[in-house]
Amino acid sequence: MYELTIERQFAAAHKLENYAGPCARLHGHNYRVLVTFRGATLDESGFLMDFAALKSLCDTVLDDLDHQYLNDHAAFAGRNPTAEAIAHYLFQQIRAAAADLPAQVWAVTVYESPTSAVTYREE
Ligand SMILES: [Zn+2]
Q: How many other CB atoms are there within 10 angstroms of residue 113's CB atom? A: 11
The answer to whether position 48 is within a domain reads: no
The answer to whether position 24 is within a domain reads: no
The answer to whether position 42 is within a domain reads: no
Start-end of H helices in 1-123: 51-62, 83-97
Q: What's the pLDDT score for residue 123?
A: 76
Q: How far apart are CA 70 and CA 16, in angstroms?
A: 10
Q: What's the pLDDT score for residue 95?
A: 97
pTM, full prediction: 0.94
Q: pLDDT tens across 33-57, in order?
A: 999 999 999 999 999 999 999 999 9
The answer to whether position 40 is within a domain reads: no
What's 86's domain CATH number? Answer: 3.30.479.10
How far, in Å, from the CA of 15 to the mean position of ligand 1?
6
How far, in Å, from the CA of 29 to the mean position of ligand 1?
6
Q: pLDDT tens across 57-89, in order?
A: 999 999 999 999 999 999 999 999 999 999 999
How far, in Å, from the CA of 1 to the mean position of ligand 1?
35
Judged against a pLDDT cut of 90, whether residue 118 lies above it is answered with yes
For residue 112, give its domain range.
1-18+57-123
Total of domains in the chain: 1
